[in-house]
Amino acid sequence: QKKHRRNTTLISLGGGVIGDMTGFAASCYQRGVAFIQIPTSLLAQVDASIGGKTAVNHPLGKNMIGAFHQPAAVIIDLATLETLPAQEFACGMAEVIKAAMIADAEFFDFLLQNKQKIQTHDRQTLISMITRACEIKADIVQRDETETGPRALLNFGHTFGHAIETCLGYGSIKHGEAVAIGMVLATKLAAQADMIAPNIIEQLTDLLHTFHLPTSLPEKAESKALLAAMKLDKKNIDEN
């Protein structure tokens, strides 16, 4: 109705859901127009706004309908975190911890050593933390923009996490909380396969508990339903 052309630029001002919706709309309209991400939640700042993944959910699975469409710019203002609810901040920390787990042991130690400053929103600590988390994701995305190889690392905890969200119903559990549980489950699986040292499980769960994130499956999550949802995961390469 407004007769916008291909030179239109959409602005996404909000959290991860707003960013996904705006990015997906931008990827479709006129076969693709520019958009700018201004993420206002910690989760969106360190993860959802970076990398060009845009999608909407489907009853059969999380983020099943979408496209790769890179933002023209990402603008982060720490002031938006001042009014962010504590639970939402914690959910963002799940993605920060994920970044440390997959790529940077020193960053993981930084989170352990500065957890009190993070909880009190010390400005310089937040700047260092958000910057490093963004660097980790951007580096991986640059090497594999469309997720055919190394970018799969960024899905640590998400195969379980997305299945948990699907089975419990979207909105029943927050994305960051589901990812936190998923990381613990994936780490336990890796330890059972002798891929990592068992003490990493304790280090991970302790750090997640610091930010009041869950580390075990809700009682309502049934194993059969979780496995069925995981079989529909986009990263699967066969039916098993």
Q: Which domain holds residue 218?
A: 85-232
pLDDT of 70 reads 95
pTM, whole model, 2 decimals? Answer: 0.90
Q: Would you say residue 158 lies in a domain? A: yes
pLDDT of 61 reads 80
Please tell me whether residues 34 and 137 are part of one structural domain: no
CB 12 within 8 A of CB 22: yes
**pLDDT at residue 123 above 90?**
yes
CATH of residue 173's domain is 1.20.1090.10
Q: Would you say residue 110 lies in a domain? A: yes
Under 8 Å CB-to-CB from 62, ≥6 apart: which residues? 162, 165, 166, 170
Catalytic residue annotation: 31, 53, 95, 137, 147, 151, 155, 158, 162, 175
d(CA 172, CA 57): 14
Query: Which residue reads 């690392």 in tokens?
Result: 153
Q: What is the pLDDT of residues 187-237, one digit of tens each?
A: 999 999 999 999 999 999 999 999 999 999 998 888 898 999 898 876 766
pLDDT of 5 reads 87
d(CA 71, CA 9): 10
CB 163 within 8 A of CB 230: yes
What mean pLDDT comes out for the span 99-106?
A: 97
b/e burial code for range 196-221 (CB count within 10 A of at least 16 → b): beeebbeebbebbebbebbbebeeeb
pLDDT exceeding 70 applies to what percent of the chain? 97
Query: Which residue reads 């302790």 in tokens?
Result: 206
Q: What is the pLDDT of residues 64-98, one digit of tens each?
A: 899 999 999 999 999 999 999 999 999 999 999 99
Rounded to the nearest angstrom, the gap between the alpha carbon of residue 8 and the centroid of all alpha carbons in its chain is 28
**pLDDT at residue 124 above 80?**
yes
Average pLDDT value for the chain: 93
CA-closest candidate to residue 137, choices 157, 154, 158? 154
pLDDT of 106 reads 98
Q: What is the pLDDT of residues 29-66, one digit of tens each?
A: 999 999 999 999 999 999 999 999 999 888 888 888 99
CB atoms within 10 A of CB 79: 7
Q: Would you say residue 65 lies in a domain? A: yes
User: What amino acid is encoded at 84 in this protein?
Assistant: L
Q: Which of 74, 100, 130 is the last residue of a domain?
A: 74
Sign of the alpha-carbon torsion through 176, 97, 193, 64: positive
CATH of residue 66's domain is 3.40.50.1970
d(CA 77, CA 54): 21
Q: Would you say residue 109 lies in a domain? A: yes
Q: Count of domains in the chain?
A: 2
Classify residue 188 as exposed, middle or buried by CB count within 10 Å of its CB (0-12, 13-18, 19+): middle
pLDDT of 240 reads 57
